[in-house]
Amino acid sequence: PLYVANPTRYENISYRRCGKSGLRLPPLSLGLWQNFGAVDSLQNATNMLHKAFDLGITHFDLANNYGPPFGSAESTFGQVMATSLKPYRDELLISSKAGYDMWAGPYGIGGSRKYLVSSCDQSLKRTGLEYFDIFYSHCMDPETPIEETMQALDYIVRSGRALYVGISNYSPEQTSKAIAILKDLGTPLLIHQPRYNMFDRWIEDGLCDVLLKEGVGSVVFSPLAQGFLTDKYLGGIPQGSRASRSEQIYLNAEHLTQDKIAKVQKLNEIAKLRGQSLAQMALAWVLNNPAVTSSIIGASKVSQIEDCVKALDNLEFSQDELSQIRKIIE
Ligand code: NDP
């Protein structure tokens, strides 16, 4: 059946300005790191993309090596883009990245101009797009001069491969440098993509100040701590969950310590009093930080996206709620 986007998709969502740029982002974005690879169901992936767009999520986040195997999330996305989402290209913000391991040899990892430009070309081919809305340096490469990496990003924009540039996982000091270099080059830094959730608050230690002062936006990843900040692990590790999958190195049984589970239980009680699921409260909490423009969720099912979007019904916190949460997570 032909897909027609929900005509009311823009009615219940407030878009948020990305720093001091002209661009507005949805408060929630969808990331394709997991569950969109060649090993996953194309039908489920398609359904999740459709559902997200139908709910007003206009931003989809990719990287060269999302899969598995590497590259396959971009290929999956390309298949949907070539068909059902094709009429909607100008309503979508699509990002990709290069920085981490992608192909063998010295030019398939890092921050060189050689790697970034060729990887961007490969990503464009896999997605079938003419350009990315945002292209990122996925991580700082300490062995490449930051000037070279920023020049590569500037070139990617000037050559028409992307409209805006971003950096991900850069420290506050590296971010300040990147901002200054890009300003000189005439391609201002649009956005930073750091990890941020109730269990990982490193951005509060300097990065937020830099972004607010410089007028740069942010889109934070793993707001649910990969699913840990939901009610799913309260009674153990359920089948099919991310932590149950044997290939997972980023979230497994070892990460789910008793101490953390006790904290999740307490947070879950506060969420209940707010009339929200814990996932919804965790999303509202990251969006409450004034330096955060959008939050990128991952999902394995359509129903999770529906559940997460309901977070937007209650983004307000009382001082009392915030201090109770702070006591649990500090
Ligand atoms: P989350 O913290 O949002 O975790 C997503 C997982 O949480 C889902 O796969 C699902 O787990 C579970 N979940 C989601 N919604 C619900 C719900 N409503 N109820 C219960 N469980 C739920 O984010 P990710 O860690 O997946 O990261 C999101 C995106 O951020 C990535 O796709 C990527 O685009 C980006 N990212 C960027 C990085 C970078 O270095 N720049 C690094 C990592 C991520 P389950 O599968 O168990 O069902």
User: Three-state SS string across the chain, please?
Assistant: CCCCCCCCCCCCCCCEECCCCCCEECCEEEECCCCCCCCCCHHHHHHHHHHHHHCCCCEEECCCCCCCCCCHHHHHHHHHHHCCCHHHHHHCEEEEEECCCCCCCCCCCCCCHHHHHHHHHHHHHHHCCCCEEEEEECCCCCCCCHHHHHHHHHHHHHCCCEEEEEEECCCHHHHHHHHHHHHHHCCCEEEEECECECCECHHHCCHHHHHHHHCCEEEEECCCHHHCCCCCCCCCCCCCCHHHCCCCCCCCHHHCCHHHHHHHHHHHHHHHHCCCCHHHHHHHHHHCCCCCCEEEECCCCHHHHHHHHHHHHCCCCCHHHHHHHHHHHC
* Confidence tier at 164 by pLDDT (50, 70, 90): very high
User: For residue 223, how far is its CA from the centre of ligand 1 (angstroms)?
Assistant: 7
Check residue 182 and give its pLDDT.
Answer: 98
Check residue 257 and give its pLDDT.
Answer: 85
Mutation to probe ligand 1, out of 221, 239, 256, 292 (largest number of atoms < 8 A from CB): 221
24-193 is a CATH 1.10.8.50 domain: no
Nearest CA to ligand 1 atom 32: 31
> Taking a C-beta distance cutoff of 8 angstroms, is the pair 36, 76 a contact?
yes
The closest-lying atom of ligand 1 relative to the alpha carbon of residue 32 is: 32
CA separation for the pair 283, 90 (Å, rounded): 27
**Mean pLDDT, residues 27-31:** 98
pTM of the predicted model, to two decimals?
A: 0.97
Q: Ligand 1 pocket, 241 CB below 6 A?
A: yes
Q: Which of these, 136, 203, 208, lies nearest to 167 by C-alpha position?
A: 136
Q: Ligand 1 pocket, 295 CB below 6 A?
A: no
**Mean pLDDT, residues 276-284:** 98
* Confidence tier at 246 by pLDDT (50, 70, 90): low
Using the predicted structure, report yes or no on whether residue 64 has a pLDDT greater than 70. Answer: yes
CA separation for the pair 61, 30 (Å, rounded): 6
* Confidence tier at 1 by pLDDT (50, 70, 90): low
Angle at 220 between CA 177 and CA 195, to 5 degrees: 75
Instruction: Break the chain into its structural domains and give their ranges.
Output: 24-193
Using the predicted structure, report yes or no on whether residue 250 has a pLDDT greater than 90. Answer: no
Whole-number mean pLDDT of the chain?
A: 96
CA separation for the pair 137, 162 (Å, rounded): 12
User: For residue 147, how far is its CA from the centre of ligand 1 (angstroms)?
Assistant: 32
User: For residue 181, how far is its CA from the centre of ligand 1 (angstroms)?
Assistant: 32
Using the predicted structure, report yes or no on whether residue 70 has a pLDDT greater than 70. Answer: yes
Q: Complex ipTM above 0.95? A: yes
Q: 193: which residues sit within 8 A by CB, 6+ positions away?
A: 61, 97, 136, 166, 167, 168, 169, 218, 219, 220, 221, 296
Q: Ligand 1 pocket, 95 CB below 6 A?
A: no
Check residue 94 and give its pLDDT.
Answer: 99
Check residue 252 and give its pLDDT.
Answer: 75
CA separation for the pair 112, 132 (Å, rounded): 19
**Mean pLDDT, residues 305-309:** 98
User: For residue 51, how far is its CA from the centre of ligand 1 (angstroms)?
Assistant: 16
Q: 286: which residues sit within 8 A by CB, 6+ positions away?
A: 196, 197, 198, 220, 223, 292, 295
User: For residue 163, how far is its CA from the centre of ligand 1 (angstroms)?
Assistant: 26
**Mean pLDDT, residues 211-234:** 96
The closest-lying atom of ligand 1 relative to the alpha carbon of residue 232 is: 20
Q: Which of 101-110, 184-193, 239-248, 271-280 has the lowest mean pLDDT?
A: 239-248
35-54: pLDDT as tens digits: 999 999 999 999 999 999 99
Check residue 258 and give its pLDDT.
Answer: 87
User: For residue 174, how far is its CA from the centre of ligand 1 (angstroms)?
Assistant: 26
